[in-house]
Amino acid sequence: MRRNTFLPFSRPDIGQDETNAVVDVLSSGWITSGPKVQDFEQAFAEYVCSPYALSLSSCTAGLHLAMNLLDLKPGDEVITTSLTWPATVNMIHLCGGKPVFVDVERNTINLDVSRVEEAITERTRAIIPVHFAGQACDLDGLRDICKRRGIEIIEDAAHAVGSEYKGKRIGSSDNIAIFSFHPIKNMTTGEGGMITTHDKETYDKLRLLRFHGVDKDAWRRYGKAEKEGYDLLIPGWKYNMTDMQAAIGVVQLKRLDEMTERREKLVALYDSLLRDVKGLTLPANVPYSIRHACHLYTLIVDKDKAGITRDEFMQEMKKLNIGTGLHFLAVHQLSFYKRHYPLPDGSLPETEYISERIVSLPLYSLMKETDVQDVVFAIQDILKRFKK
Ligand SMILES: Cc1ncc(COP(=O)(O)O)c(C=O)c1O
């Protein structure tokens, strides 16, 4: 049906339990990092099966801390994908590293592991795979290369809360993984992030860097049992999550599987309704066993096939009261990176192809089946008008 109200691209699924949890914190007398943060970290560590989970103000903060741990020297390189949110690449640059882009696979939009080896030099320190849309990268393939070449893997798991790779949750492996709880993500804390690791020393260092580098966080400094005084062990940042955010996170995490199942149903409906629509390319599945978090549902709109460019398509969808998203424009083609790390056009052909044509359809657990039908109706209406 043609909609007469706007369908947003995303909307957080916040219920009464989340609201009550925040109100409880607000009236508890302690609203910054405290007992709720500890509860959330413990619950998250248990959920993903990792010994350590550290909450943060954002995934970007986690990427910053993880890059900082690498202690990059001028000329050190970090491999990643250009089809990501700029935060992934910004943190490499801001920590003194050189971002090196590897092309993605046209169909899955994940890093093309077969091209990683040729991008490695003696200056390569780490690789940041992004589990695009919530579909796990080929981690075994990457581990094989990285082990041989002595390179660290740092997973950008911003889209991958609830994702699994070969039966194990993303976040359970022994390398660092960093999650986002931004409001469009599968679960939210308003803003927020989480970093998981198996290594106690790494955890301790991240914990310090998260809160100024001071040996006691606020909860411990003001607690009755604590001794007076504090020390600064290393200069750090202020990236802690508040108890108000963590209270939302505790409830959202309990609901995560149910919310992901809802997304799975909506994705299956998109797949079945769009399968026979000519002119579009639907998202493809990886060939190994995963659980897709169904964070995004992306289409490729190619003017040669659809008769319309992606940008025109997004405008037409808006006219029909359907919001869409853009994940992502290739980072290496954005002004700053074009100036500082120039690459000739066509250097990353799949990334560039996708960047010009990709669009994300509305997808969130509060959506109804009829909303999906409305989106598909709008797409068909547009293609009828533009496709030759
Ligand atoms: C792939 C990717 N990495 C990192 C981030 C940054 O997450 P945050 O907004 O929590 O800092 C995002 C945000 O959307 C993202 O999509």
Query: CA 81, 86, 92: angle at the middle one, nearest 5?
Result: 70
- Is-catalytic flag, 73? no
Mutate to test the pocket of ligand 1, among 57, 58, 59, 128 (most ligand atoms within 8 A of CB): 59
Mutate to test the pocket of ligand 1, among 170, 181, 182 (most ligand atoms within 8 A of CB): 182
Per the listing, tokens 């997973």 go with 155
The DSSP output letter for 171 is T
Structure tokens at 379: 């797409």
Active-site hit among 73, 147, 168, 185:
185
Mutate to test the pocket of ligand 1, among 180, 184, 239, 358 (most ligand atoms within 8 A of CB): 180
pLDDT one digit per residue (tens) for the chain, 388 residues: 789 999 999 999 999 999 999 999 999 999 999 999 999 999 999 999 999 999 999 999 999 999 999 999 999 999 999 999 999 999 999 999 999 999 999 999 999 999 999 999 999 999 999 999 999 999 999 999 999 999 999 999 999 999 999 999 999 999 999 999 999 999 999 999 999 999 999 999 999 999 999 987 777 777 776 777 899 999 999 999 999 999 999 999 999 999 999 999 999 999 999 999 999 999 999 999 999 999 999 999 999 999 999 999 999 999 999 999 999 999 999 999 999 999 999 999 999 999 999 999 999 999 999 999 999 999 999 999 998 7
Q: Measured from the CA of 84, which atom of ligand 1 is nearest?
A: 1
pLDDT on residue 227 = 75
pLDDT on residue 324 = 98
pLDDT on residue 226 = 73
Q: Measured from the CA of 62, which atom of ligand 1 is nearest?
A: 11
Q: CATH assignment of 16-254, given 3.30.2320.80, 3.40.640.10, 2.40.128.20, 3.40.50.2000?
A: 3.40.640.10
pLDDT on residue 228 = 79
Residue 250 and residue 21 in contact, taking contact as beta carbons nearer than 8 Å: yes
Say how many Å lie between the CA of residue 84 and the centre of ligand 1. 8
Mutate to test the pocket of ligand 1, among 9, 57, 60 (most ligand atoms within 8 A of CB): 60
Q: How would you class 170 by CB atoms within 10 Å of its CB: exposed for 0-12, middle for 13-18, buried for 19 or more?
A: buried
Say how many Å lie between the CA of residue 108 and the centre of ligand 1. 19
Ligand 1-lining residues (CB < 6 angstroms): 58-60, 84-85, 87-88, 130, 156, 158-159, 180, 182, 193
Q: Measured from the CA of 327, which atom of ligand 1 is nearest?
A: 16
Residue 175 and residue 151 in contact, taking contact as beta carbons nearer than 8 Å: no
Torsion of the alpha carbons at 373, 378, 380 and 385, rounded to the nearest 10: 170
Domain boundaries, the chain: 16-254, 255-386
Enter the CATH code of domain 255-386: 3.90.1150.10
Judged by DSSP in three states, 268 sits in: helix
Say how many Å lie between the CA of residue 179 and the centre of ligand 1. 8
Q: Measured from the CA of 180, which atom of ligand 1 is nearest?
A: 10
Say how many Å lie between the CA of residue 380 and the centre of ligand 1. 31
Say how many Å lie between the CA of residue 267 and the centre of ligand 1. 22
Largest Cα span, the chain: 76
Say how many Å lie between the CA of residue 32 and the centre of ligand 1. 23
Say how many Å lie between the CA of residue 85 and the centre of ligand 1. 6
Structure tokens at 12: 């957080």
Kindly provide the b/e burial profile for residues 229-252, where b requires at least 16 CB atoms within 10 angstroms of the residue's own CB: eeeeeeebbebbbbbbbbbbbbbb
Looking at ligand 1, which residue's alpha carbon is closest to its atom 16? 85
Looking at ligand 1, which residue's alpha carbon is closest to its atom 9? 182
Structure tokens at 41: 């970290």
